[in-house]
Amino acid sequence: MRQTHFVVGALLASLTALSSATTVYVMSSGYEPQDTAVAAALTGYGHKVVPGVQYWQFDGTQSLAGIDVVYVQANYNYSSPDMPGSGQSALVSYVSEGGGLVTTEWVYWDIAAYGWFSTLATILPGEPTTSYNRNPSYDLVQASPDPVVNSGLPESFSIPADDIAGCETNLTTRAGATDFYDSVLFGPRVGLCGWDCGTGRVASFSMVCGVNMLTDGFGGRLVSNTLDWASHGAGSFMIPVDTLTVKFGRLSSGSVADLQVIDGVTAEVCKFIVPNQQVAPITVEVGGTSPVTVPVSLVFRTFSRMSASGAFTMTQDLYDFTTSSFSATGSVIIPISSNYVSIAVAGDGDLARFLGPMNAVKARYRVRQVGPAAASLWCNEMDQAVWFVR
């Protein structure tokens, strides 16, 4: 077995506040094809989707335990009754305590036209308005760069619009909010904005986010990225990988620099043919440096796929510096296939044990074949491997 080691010290300077979504509570639109498209798009980007009630049925009795971000749809059902006050208060508390919230239109229009969502409106980053358009496409231009929101997207792109009693609110931001993308067709307006709220995050689309947008490559990616951004709460930092060590297998293409963003450019590690091999044929260790010395949350996340179809599992472990070993509790085993999947493992207990000298962090991912595979020399294509710390 050959051991390969890369170091890119300059990447330590790219620490940026951001986030990553795992489990999404999706409020139903009341229209099955729309809900199916949402679930398919988000699942395709590695999110776990929890189907929810319609916004007007959300009264706060629904459990958000284990939910990283709530996705509020008010498009096909925009003329339904207002969300109960108890539900709005529950969402405000959820966000203030670290949860994520993402809204679609016609939430802002309902606020301006009917006075609905009055409690929820206090934490939204945009200004309510009844001004809207029926433009044939959403032509978006990056307004404020963010490595999570922009991941895998060009600086400008066009998405086919959805007409659900209109296509888009002519949105503006509130003071202190970030304008991530401008919608520029027939006059600039805010396409996507967000801000930190309490210890959580809130983002709002000016669009109705219908089937056309969700099934578009750019549109689906933007929704997924926004959920990622909202999910880890205010003050979260990404820790980029600065070392990549292949313990078993061989690096076929790419380098540590290809693990920073989700862009389709991967670090591919392939197995050797070793008879009766007991260890995982692909075993890779990665390292980084935390900007936080006393973490309250630490998550390691990967986004990858297999080069061949078949039955495989990926195991991810966090390194415990107090025992000088990979942690049995900071570990997760997930099936992986030729479709991209996001896998995350969170540190538990005393998180200080996952920080070494000079705030070093370390993780490992291992791939095993657990059933038939289409190729004997299979590979793992890793598009992103990062930590999130707060």
The CATH number linked to 182 is 3.40.50.880
238 beta partners: 388
pLDDT tens-digit series, residues 150-205 = 877 889 999 999 999 999 999 999 999 999 999 999 878 999 999 999 889 999 99
**Shared-domain flag, residues 195 and 150:** yes
Last residue of a domain, one of 188, 207, 231: 231
pLDDT tens-digit series, residues 234-250 = 667 888 899 999 999 99
Query: Are 156 and 141 a contacting pair, CB within 8 Å?
Result: yes
Total domain count for the chain? Answer: 2
Domain enclosing residue 116, as ranges: 23-231
Query: Are 250 and 273 a contacting pair, CB within 8 Å?
Result: no
Q: CB-side exposure of 288: number of CA atoms within 13 Å? A: 30
**Shared-domain flag, residues 116 and 65:** yes
| Closest to 251 (Cα-Cα) out of 287, 284, 210 | 284
**Shared-domain flag, residues 278 and 154:** no
Q: Which positions ≥6 away from 276 have C-beta within 8 Å?
A: none
Q: C-alpha 190: how far from its chain's center?
A: 21
pLDDT of residue 12: 27
| Closest to 218 (Cα-Cα) out of 145, 165, 139 | 139
**Shared-domain flag, residues 179 and 328:** no
Last residue of a domain, one of 201, 231, 261: 231
**Shared-domain flag, residues 66 and 108:** yes
Specify the pairing of strand 168-169 against strand 126-127.
Answer: unpaired
**Shared-domain flag, residues 78 and 226:** yes
Looking at per-residue pLDDT, the higher value among 276 and 53 belongs to: 53
**Shared-domain flag, residues 160 and 291:** no
**Shared-domain flag, residues 218 and 284:** no
Overall average pLDDT of the 40-58 stretch: 91
**Shared-domain flag, residues 173 and 46:** yes
Least confident of 33-47, 198-212, 307-321, 369-383: 33-47
Q: CATH code at 314?
A: 2.60.120.260
pLDDT of residue 235: 65
Specify the pairing of strand 360-373 against strand 282-289.
Answer: antiparallel
**Shared-domain flag, residues 251 and 216:** no
Query: Are 100 and 200 a contacting pair, CB within 8 Å?
Result: yes
Least confident of 21-30, 140-149, 328-337, 346-355: 328-337
| Closest to 142 (Cα-Cα) out of 178, 92, 94, 99 | 178
**Shared-domain flag, residues 202 and 241:** no
pLDDT tens-digit series, residues 57-106 = 999 999 999 899 999 999 999 999 999 999 999 999 999 998 999 999 99
The structure tokens listed for 379 are 């590979």
**Shared-domain flag, residues 191 and 264:** no
pTM listed for this prediction: 0.71
In degrees and rounded to multiples of 5, residue 80 shows phi and psi of -70, 175
